[in-house]
Structure 1
Amino acid sequence: MAGNSTAQRSADGETARRAGAKWAILGISVGASVAAVLTAATSGLAAFYARQIVVPVGATEELEILHVSGFDDEMTVLLPADDETTVNGVYSLWFDEGRGHARIGNVIEYDPTSRTVLREVLGVDSGDLRAARIGRWNGTYYRNPQALQVPSEDVVLHTDAGDLPAWYIPGDPSAVAAEDAEATEKTWAILIHGRGGTRAEGLRAVPTLRAAGISSLSISYRNDPEARSGSSSRYGLGDTEWLDVDDAIEFAISRGAERVVLFGWSMGGAIAFQAAARGRYKDRISGMVLDAPVVDWFSVLDEQARINRLPTPIARLALEMISQPWARWITGLETPLDLNRMDWVTRAAELRVPVLLIHSDDDDFVPSGPSHRLATVRSDLVTMPRYDKARHTKEWNVDAERWSDDVRSFLQKIVVSDREGSASVR
């Protein structure tokens, strides 16, 4: 009996050990499966975010147009109140999938109870605003040079990415002092719009430039809405688009320009930095005016990941994907992007031309911190007046007079420096 009992206990123990081993193996298998699923999910989210960064997408109309009243020059529009629509200034309201365009003025009334805002309609340039139900709010105030009622010419830039449309707008020499006329006549401004925008974005600078006697070339570039080559288009975040700015400078030189000032909005600022550092005609660049520029892509993409509640490991993996050869099949990029080369806080010592940085501190798309850091470490070249209530690239929209004064003062310093330089050479 005792022997049988001992044998039974031994058998029971072996069964238990086998069962334990089975569950241990199953536990390892389940753990590995969960880890694999989590890794796949992380990689999938990172891939999605990486593609969002580099794949051009069309602008969406999501702002509800609640009511339009009045006639002709006395129209008003009622809109939902948000961080954009409640800021005074002049803006664009696009509708009917971009075919309709209205210029919107200051706030007339804000109702905190209904969370609505009533604003002036300064003019409807195209479309039927009364029939519109949704629209898109942005700072691109003039839709084309005709809206400015100034002379202009449609031109084409011939680049390795194909033919790119641009607008040439001559300066007004009659508005310039005689001693500055020669310098301003030979100075052109190259206007570089931001990611997802069009060449119309830069037209806000034209009145200021014409009054300074400076001609403007408002350009499109590879991968923007006017120059995409199907679904294969990918943004280079400035790492490739600067080549088109180089061709724009070449065009300006062919028309008599001796020097240029680069104007860049948002990603257009990142493009301008690269053209000034790497271009064939970098020695022709006298200065840069940068509005809410991307000075450092790491800060921008980290901030966007935070806003979208994307965990840091996923955000970091996404950045790795757009900057490493192994992920080209995921992102669709022909060449990985060098984000370090586009970090101008780190590269501040390489800056070689005067820069006017205009960047509102409440910008929630491109943080102003890197702009401030660049202005601090290169105070010898960088001027940065403080703006704090203009959101992203809307400093002109909020206060066109102040924006113009800051730009005019900066341009005058460049013109004087060029004039004195020319005199010393003679």
Structure 2
Amino acid sequence: MCSVSEGPFHTSDASLTTLGPRRAILRTADGVRIEALYEPGEAGFTDTAIVVAHGFTGSVDRPAVRRAARVFARYAAVVTFSFRGHGGSGGRSTVGDREVLDLAAAVEWARGFGHIRVVTAGFSMGGSVVLRHAAMHEGRREAHTDAVAAVSAPARWYYRGTAPMRRLHWVVTRPLGRLVGRYGLATRIHPEGWDPVPLSPVEAVPLIAPTPLLIVHGDRDPYFPLDHPRMLAAAGPAELWLEPGMGHAENAAGDELLGRIAHWLAAE
């Protein structure tokens, strides 16, 4: 895998107005085709659009992503998409590295619909991506985010302190594991390791300000213990929500929590 380099963003054209949901294929700065879905808010056109970055093995049409989009749509327009190597998108997953280019293409597409504010919400791997994206695109209007919510995100790379993360590393790093990823998890994973190692989430946080940042984490997360969200929140200006009884990412986030996250994003 090759680390991200800056460059122009190429997406499909979007009308400034829309009568309903719209699917499109976006093209990232490095030429990967990304499937995306735009949905106007339930109350009609709003100032804010929320771009949702799913977790590893997710996609635009996975039930948990669709549920999050439905809740978010009560507060704003919503853009969901599939990261590279996931769903109907092209390419192969780099597990959080070049995925910032996928998110940047989705943010730029959302801005094309005429929303004044475009904000990002990411879960697990997607949480690490929204943090790195916000740090890397500060000051770049087209792909910049106006507020960030990272849910169940890791603070540092190569964490193997829990059984689920040891299994995930096996899937990503072993040839047999990548076959399991492709055929069992519908996720195509790049066979090469990071070179160079990308900016970590905790290193990204100090670079996000003055963009508002929310860190959300469950106290029963089986992947990343509470030192991860606390480390992220301590790295720079951020609001921290530790959710009692919550597990991991979009699958564990209840409608009430999703509503609070959407309200925070729309109000910031």
**TM over 0.5, yes or no?**
yes
What is residue 94 of structure 2 aligned with on the other side? Answer: 236
Alpha-carbon distance, 1:283 to partner: 7.1
Following the alignment from structure 1 to structure 2, what is the Cα–Cα distance between the partners of residues 382 and 413?
15
Q: CA deviation at 1:195?
A: 1.1
TM-score (norm 2): 0.71
Instruction: Encode CA deviations 1:186-244: one digit per residue, 9 max, x unaligned.
Output: 321111111111123432232333222x1111011212242244xxx3x3222211111
Q: Which has the higher helix share?
A: 1
CA deviations 1:127-177 (Å, max 9, x no partner) are xxxxxxxxxxxxxxxxxxxxxxxx522222122343221111101336xxx
Equivalent residues of 1:259, 1:284 under 8 A apart: no
Alignment-derived partner of residue 223 in structure 1: 85
- The aligned counterpart of 2:246 is 390
Pick the aligned partner of 2:192 from 328, 333, 344. 333
- Whether 1:285 aligns to 2:145 is yes
Please say if 1:413 is aligned against 2:263: no
Q: Which residue of 2 aligns with 1:153?
A: 22
Counterpart residue identity of residue 36, structure 2: A
Using CA pairs below 8 Å that are at least 6 residues apart, which structure has the higher relative contact order? 2
Unmatched segments (≥5 aa) in structure 2: 2-19, 174-189
Aligned-partner Cα distance in 1 for 2:263–2:113: 26
Q: Structure 1 pair 267/334, CA: closer, same or farther in 2 (3 Å)? A: closer
Count of matched residue positions in the alignment of Structure 1 and Structure 2 = 225
Distance (Å, rounded) in 1 between the aligned partners of 2:107 and 2:127: 16
Q: Contact 1:249–1:281 (CA<8 Å) still a contact in 2? A: no
- Equivalent residue for 2:57? 196
CA distance in 1, matches of 2:148, 2:155: 13
Q: TM-score, normalised by structure 1?
A: 0.47
Q: CA deviation at 1:385?
A: 2.1
Which of 72, 75, 82 in structure 2 is aligned with 1:209? 72
Question: RMSD of the TM alignment (CA)?
Answer: 3.1
- Per-residue Cα deviation, 1:288-345 (whole angstroms, up to 9, x for no partner): 12221123224x334459856x9xxxx9xx8xxxxxxxxxxxx832851415x1141x
Compared CA separation, residues 305 and 216, structure 1 to 2 (3 A): closer
- Distance in 1 (CA, whole Å) between partners of 2:22 and 2:231 is 39
Structure 1's unaligned 5+ residue stretches are 1-50, 52-150, 175-183, 319-330, 415-426
Determine if contact 1:237/1:270 at 8 Å carries over to the other structure.
Answer: no
Displacement of 1:281:
4.1
For the structure 1 residues 357 and 240, does the alpha-carbon distance in structure 2 shift closer, same or farther, using more than 3 Å as the test?
same
User: Distance in 2 between the 1:386 and 1:334 partners?
Assistant: 32
Q: Sort the Cα spacing of 1:411 and 1:334 in 2 relative to 1 into closer, same or farther, 3 A.
A: closer
User: Quick one: which amino acid aligns to residue 157 of structure 1?
Assistant: L
Partner AA of 2:160 in structure 1: L
